[in-house]
Structures are given as C-alpha cells and as structure tokens.
Structure 1
Amino acid sequence: MKEAPVPMARNRTLKQSGVKKSGALGRLVTIVVTVGLTLGVLEALVRTMDGVAFAPRSFVADKLSLFASAYPSVYDPLLGYVPKPKFSGTANAWNTEVTIDRLSLRQNAADTPTPDPVAVLAVGDSYTFGDEVSDSETWPAQLDGLLGQPVANAGVFGYGLDQAVLRAERLVPELEPWALVVSFIYGDVRRTQLIQRTGVEKPYFDVVDGALVLRNVPPSRNRPRIEQMGVVRAALGYSYLVDWTARRLGATEWWYAGGFPQVKVHDDGPTVACLLMRRLKALEEKTGSKVLVVAQYLSRNITDLVSPKSVEELTGSERLLACAQQAGLATLDTLSSLRALYDADPAGFYSKYFLVAHMSKAGNRVVAEGVADALVELLGGE
C-alpha cells in the first residue's frame, strides 16, 4: 500500500511567504535608517552653516516667546526669566548699548560694574530697565549721578508688579541698599493676573482668605505651552532643519502662527497689587531698607486724561499709591511733573520725552530728579 504524498508545495509556499515578509521588513528598516541618517546629516549641516548650537531648543517656542526671541534673557526658576548675565552689546530689541552684570542687573555704563553693596536698589519693569535707551540713559543710571551714590538697576522688561516685588525680596538681603525704589506703570498691575505673558510662564499670586499665596513656582520652561503650538510644531520645533526649511519655503505664517500668547488666571490684579504693598512694608521692617513706591506713566496717560483706557490707568495708579501709603510706605507720583512739561509744550512733548513706547533720556532724567528729591526727603541729606 502506497504512502500518501507529503504536501511539499504547501510547506514551500509558507516558507517562501515568510522570506518575502522578512525581506520587506528589512527593506523598510533600511529605508527608515537611511532617511534618518540623511536628515541627521542635513540637520548637522544647516546648524554648522548657520552657527547654531546642538543643545536642545524649540525654535518655534523661542520665536513665539518675545523674551526668548528679542530680548537678552534666561530662564529663572522663581521669576520666569531675568536679564542674561554678562550680556553686553547692541544685539537686542532696541539696538542700544545694553550691559548686564553677573547678578542680572543692568549696569549704569558698559565699563562700570554694579558695586556691592549699593545705596539704592531699583526694581520694576521696562521703564526701570530702560527699554529703548542705552545704559547711561536709564533713570537709575541718571539717579546714580544725581545722588553721587551707587544705584543698582534691577528693572526687568515685561515684569509684572508681582515679579518686581519677588526680585526685590531676593536682592535686598544680598545688596543691603539704604533704599529700595519700586517703580510701576498700571500695566504691571494687570500682569499680576497672568500665568503666561508674551509666551513666557511667570509666577503669580492668588488671594486666599485675604492673603497672598504664591503659585506656579517654578514656572514651566515651555515657551509657549505645547497645546498652544500643537503636537506637530511642538515636536518638529526642535529641528533647526525644519525651521530653516519653513523659513526658506515661505511657510512661516503657519510655522510661527499664534503670536505671543498670554494666559490669564484671575481678575484680582488691584487686590494683589495692594497686598504687595504690605509685603514691601514687611521687607522694609525686616531689612531696614527704606521703600519708595514710584508711579510712572505711558505717554497716553499724560497727553490724554479722558479716554476710558487712560482713566482706568490713572485711577488705578492713584489707588495703588494710596494702598502704599496706607501700608506705611513712602510714595512718588511722577504725573504732575510730566503733565506740567506737556502743558508747557504739547506739540513737542512726546518727541522730547518719549521714544516709541518708553521714555527717552530726557524723560528718564525727569523721573530721576523726582526720585532723587524723594529719597533725600526719605533718607535725610541735602
């Protein structure tokens, strides 16, 4: 009796199918590796060609962050960001001479490091830092010359009043100034309501049972957040090759879409600002450094007293100065001196005392003279 034949053809078919699948997978792996290596070489090539470092960095996030893209700044785990230490030159948003020392303080001249200790420490926003003017033209630098005493400029572009006070609390114990000058525009009060401004995370205060509670420390390094960029841009944004290609293909309208986003967390800015005055009083009592709170103004607050926006800002500044006085702090309102200059020459006021959005050297001189007189009265002297 003959044995049944073994179904060789079927086995052979199965084996051949396996070989085909294995070969297809191998080719796919080869393609993926080849493409990956090619993209890696191109990434290295364009970075080397443009002098871009190989450190991890999201080029999209940086572009959508005002302070990462246009200002000399670095991340700070408490404040969100500070001026970049040891920065010097005109490669900044203003094309002016800007010199930052090791403590992230703006020097009063490129060749004059900030002394330690100092007589006066100034904190605030871009009006204190001196956006649009060179080192020697800021009001803290001119105050230094008027007093004949060392003045440290700890103002930071874009800061809210909350960040300015936190920076004062950090620096006063270290620098031991005779006086702390806290300058603000009313916009700084609005900024206390934000967790993110111009694409950069920041700390903020909540009001809980009538007291301030610090939130969002440390702030996220993501500038801006992934959900604001989308998954694709968040992932590919780390490739300089993709960024380079998008710019050359004219695809920046999508690649950089979104502008400088901000995220609001509450509407309690005026209450937070008022409570910050009490916090400054506690700092004064703890350290012995006398505090002077100074109200500065946008050009529209001086030239237009009736528009709703200006009325809100003028009224808000007046109320905050009242809060400071109630807390036992000395105050200075620069509005009257600036308004007198406007009344004397309405046509020429703006061009003389302001640049684009900030004060000129002459405008900063007016502020410095007012602060000098107030400090002499506060500290004694001639």
Structure 2
Amino acid sequence: MADEFLHVHDGDLGYVPRPGVRGTVRDGGPVTIEANGLRFSGEKPASADAPILAVGDSFTYGEDVADLDAWPAQLQRLTGRTVLNGGVSGYGLDQIVLRTERLTALHGLAMVIVSMIADDVRRTEMRRMWWHDKPWFALQGGKLVLRGVPVPERRKPPTAVRRRMERLLIELPPALQQFTGYSIRVHRAGTGAHISQALIERLANLQTVSRVKFLLVAQYDADAWSGRRRAQEQRNVLRPLLECAAMHGIATLDTFHRLAAEPRPGDFYGTLHMNARGNLMIASLLAARLRTWSS
C-alpha cells in the first residue's frame, strides 16, 4: 500500500513513487526510487536492446524485498537486458493500465510485462483504498469511462498515528473498512470482473498502437496456498482475464502451476508478498518465456 515517505500524490493515478527517495525494507535492504520515478533495478546492462518495462502492483514493485531482489531486477540480471520497474504498491488493475499507458509513451520499449494478482480486480471497484483516493472506471454502453480525476489529495493522520491505526484497520472486514473511510467502494462486488476485461481490451489496443509486445502475467499472493478453496478463488478471478488477453492478441503467463508444483509454496513468500527466492522464480519463468520469443 502507499507510504507517504515513498509516494507522492498524482492527480491522474492517485499516487506514484516519489522520485529520488531512498529508504530500507525491514531487513535493512535498500529501497531506491530513481529520478524518473521507477524503482532501481541495478546498473543498466551494456545490451543495445530496447528496454523491457515491468508494470503492476506490489508484487512487481517488490514489496518487503531490497531493490535487487524484486523480480524486474532479477530478470535484468538473468537476461542482460534493461528492465524498468514501474510497479507501484497498492495499485488496482485500473491504475496499472493507466500507468502502463503513461510509461509506454515515455520510453522506447521492446516489451511491456503487465503483472496482476486477483485482488487488483477488486480494487477496480473502489474509489479509495487504504486512505488514498484513486481513479476508477465506469462501464457505459460497454465502454470504459474514467472517473474520479483529477484525484483529490486528502489530508491523512500523521504517519506514526496512521501506521498504528492501519495495523487494526487492514484486518477489518470490508464493510467496516468502508464505515471508517479506510476504503470506499463505488461499484458492487463482482463488477470488477467486467471492468477488468474491458481494461485488458484497452491494453490490447495500446499494444497495437504502440507496436510493442505485451505479456500479461498472473501472480498469486500467499493466501492462495492456504487451501484449495483459496487457490481456486484466485484462479477463478485471473483465468478469464488471461483468456481475454489471449483472445485479443496479448501473450500470457500463468505462474500458478510452477508454484503449485512445489511441496511448500509458502517458502517463496515472506508474509503476503514474495521473498527474494519467490521473485527469482518469477524472473526465471519470464526469462524462459522471453527466450522462446527471441528464438
């Protein structure tokens, strides 16, 4: 989720990484946001190939791991190609698509990798997440209409107070989060599935216009491995989006089966997010996929 030290308000996206900021994760590993607002992925390789852009939520950004342990940084090392980390913690699929449009216009790219988790779909039903107002889409006549922009900048409790409150608020059921104003729904539950399919079609149009290859990746949070029902719930959300992407000419990668083949998939996670080992697995899957494209 957004942190006021690491993020700055943005009228179009709600918030973005704060350019030039440096911090640390819990184990002391570095967090570095470069002057261009992207997370540091290591020194740029000597490769003359155009860069790869990675966009997504906290799983792309690399929440709870150091700069070089996020999967975009590990993919850069594995491939020897520049990988730009445009992930932002807490984003819904709506914000991910909007950020993809912004960054694709700014960088001469060879490829865009868009990563998502199941909860990104629920986030498209919200106009506020974790105290941060956000843009959102409505469907009118089957077409997406952007709402909530410019996103207002709201005053929040002081950081120390907010962090103490969030330990309690994040555990509350959605109805109580709505009551406290911590998160506010604008669409009924389930609407996000339809909005998200329209967003995938929007990505397909961007792929056509930009003439850049896109790859849509499905990732899974730690809760997917707490039981079969949880795993199936997440797969039921993500599978239709992967199918929609494929139907519209976007390549896809579902990471579920690789993780499910492990005796203890939870070993690849810290708490909710992937640890360095988990991010290496994702980077390895992506590197293998990129090799098949270039062969």
Residue 128 (structure 1) aligns with: 60
C-alpha displacement of 1:375: 2.3
Cα 1:360/1:223, change in 2 over 3 Å: same
Report the TM-score when normalising by structure 2.
0.87
Residue 255 (structure 2) aligns with: 334
Residue 149 (structure 1) aligns with: 81
For the 8 Å contact 2:70–2:276, the answer to whether it is kept is yes
Extract unaligned runs of 5+ from structure 1: 1-65, 225-236
C-alpha displacement of 1:113: 6.7
Query: Quick one: which amino acid aligns to residue 126 of structure 1?
Result: S
Q: Does 1:219 align with 2:151?
A: yes
For the 8 Å contact 1:302–1:338, the answer to whether it is kept is no
Match of 2:39 among 106, 109, 122: 106
Q: Does 1:355 align with 2:287?
A: no
Residue 292 (structure 1) aligns with: 215
CA deviation profile, 1:7-47 (whole Å, cap 9, x unmatched): xxxxxxxxxxxxxxxxxxxxxxxxxxxxxxxxxxxxxxxxx
Match of 1:80 among 14, 27, 32: 14
Cα 1:68/1:360, change in 2 over 3 Å: closer
Name the Cα RMSD after superposition: 2.7
Q: Does 1:119 align with 2:51?
A: yes
Report the TM-score when normalising by structure 1.
0.68
For the 8 Å contact 2:45–2:80, the answer to whether it is kept is no
Q: Does 1:283 align with 2:206?
A: yes
C-alpha displacement of 1:306: 2.1
For the 8 Å contact 1:199–1:223, the answer to whether it is kept is no
Who wins on radius of gyration, i.e. which is larger? 1
Measure, in 1, the Cα distance between the counterparts of 2:115 and 2:151. 24
For the 8 Å contact 1:277–1:324, the answer to whether it is kept is yes
Match of 1:306 among 214, 222, 229: 229
Percent identity, please. 36
Query: Quick one: which amino acid aligns to residue 297 of structure 1?
Result: Y
For the 8 Å contact 2:222–2:271, the answer to whether it is kept is no
Residue 184 (structure 1) aligns with: 116
Measure, in 1, the Cα distance between the counterparts of 2:22 and 2:204. 35
Measure, in 2, the Cα distance between the counterparts of 1:288 and 1:208. 28
Classify the secondary structure of the residue corresponding to 2:228.
Answer: coil
For the 8 Å contact 1:87–1:99, the answer to whether it is kept is yes
More helix by share: 1
CA deviation profile, 1:176-225 (whole Å, cap 9, x unmatched): 2111000000000100111110000100110000010011111010145x
Runs of 4 or more above 6 Å deviation: 113-117, 256-260
Extract unaligned runs of 5+ from structure 2: 170-176
More strand by share: 2
Residue 265 (structure 1) aligns with: 186
Query: Quick one: which amino acid aligns to residue 313 of structure 1?
Result: Q
For the 8 Å contact 1:207–1:213, the answer to whether it is kept is yes
Measure, in 2, the Cα distance between the counterparts of 1:166 and 1:94. 32
